[in-house]
A and B are shown apart, each in its own frame.
Chain A
Amino acid sequence: NAGVTQTPKFQVLKTGQSMTLQCAQDMNHNSMYWYRQDPGMGLRLIYYSASEGTTDKGEVPNGYNVSRLNKREFSLRLESAAPSQTSVYFCASSEGAPSNFGPGTRLTVT
């Protein structure tokens, strides 16, 4: 059981570039989430998916899009990266409150 996996681990983008962060879970959970973590702040929810085929905005969705490709995979896309999106991004899955988090993707936008 790999749990929750994320790729890539690190990424540097220039302002205006696009990229997709990938997340997969092998625990057969219905719910999946994307959070960002910034220094001195707790995690903030970007988007979540309560089940395959559904997605909803969280607290900070602006500048992001998501796709729930199937039950296992939930991707996060930055269409035009901005320096304010420099952060560490975590994917999580659960039945109920998040219990399994991925190792994170550290993104820097210059």
Chain B
Amino acid sequence: AQSVTQLGSHVSVSEGALVLLRCNYSSSVPPYLFWYVQYPNQGLQLLLKYTSAATLVKGINGFEAEFKKSETSFHLTKPSAHMSDAAEYFCAVSEGTGANNLFFGTGTRLTVIP
């Protein structure tokens, strides 16, 4: 069975600083991994996904994530935070291409300090 752990339910960074949101997964087979963003009072948007191609995945809004099998991690980064990045971020893992077995982490709320 697969699961996701997001370290840190709240992360604060200064505007212009590096954003690092941590995600560790557990999976019995090679996983598919996803990051989603949720702005206040909105649905989730897919930021990026890893589906066993390149280990460094680039997504929208300048975000990227690196799949590290040895560390079972898929951390999300952005070199320079913008105020508009303030949102909740969810990591998710799936053991197949379908979404019926997609499991979400509990989320990390990112605050950007001016």
Q: Which A residue sits closest to B42, measured CB to CB? A: A103
Contacts between the two chains (Cβ within 8 Å), count: 62
Please name the residue on chain B nearest to A102 by beta carbon: B43
A63 interface residue per 8 A CB criterion? no
Task: Check B100 against A41 for contact (C-beta < 8 Å).
Answer: no
B99 x A101 contact (CB < 8 A):
no
Contact check, B106 vs A40: say whether CB atoms are below 8 A apart: yes
The residue on A at minimum CB distance from B45 is A101
- Interface segment among A13-21, A42-50, A70-78, A79-87: the answer is A42-50
B44 adjacent to A96 (CB under 8 Å): no
Chain A 22-66 interface 0/1 with B at a Cβ cutoff of 8 Å (1 = within): 000000000101000000111111001010000010100000000
Say yes or no: is B76 at the interface (Cβ < 8 Å to chain A): no
Neighbouring B residues of A4 by C-beta, 8 Å: 43
Q: A42-B4, A42-B90, A42-B92 are in contact. Are A97 and B99 (CB under 8 A)?
A: yes
For A97, give its contact among B9, B43, B90, B94 (CB under 8 Å): B94
| Residue of B whose beta carbon sits closest to that of A58 | B100
The range of chain A's interface size is 20 to 34
- Cross-chain contact of A103 among B4, B43, B94, B97 (Cβ < 8 A): B43
* A69 to B: closest C-beta gap in Å: 20
Given A101-B43, A101-B45, A102-B43, A42:B99 Cβ within 8 A: no
Cα–Cα, bound, A99→B105 (Å):
16
Asked if B100 and A97 make an inter-chain contact with CB atoms under 8 angstroms apart, the answer reads no
Asked if B46 is at the interface (CB within 8 A of a chain A CB), the reply is yes
Closest 4 pairs (CB-CB, A-B): A42-B104, A101-B43, A99-B46, A101-B44
Question: Which positions in A face B, CB cutoff 8 Å?
Answer: 4, 31, 33, 40-45, 48, 50, 56, 58, 90, 92, 94, 96-99, 101-104
A-B contact pairs, 20 of them (CB 8 A): A31-B99, A41-B106, A42-B90, A42-B103, A43-B44, A43-B90, A48-B100, A50-B100, A90-B44, A92-B44, A96-B97, A96-B98, A97-B32, A97-B34, A97-B92, A98-B102, A101-B43, A101-B44, A101-B45, A103-B43
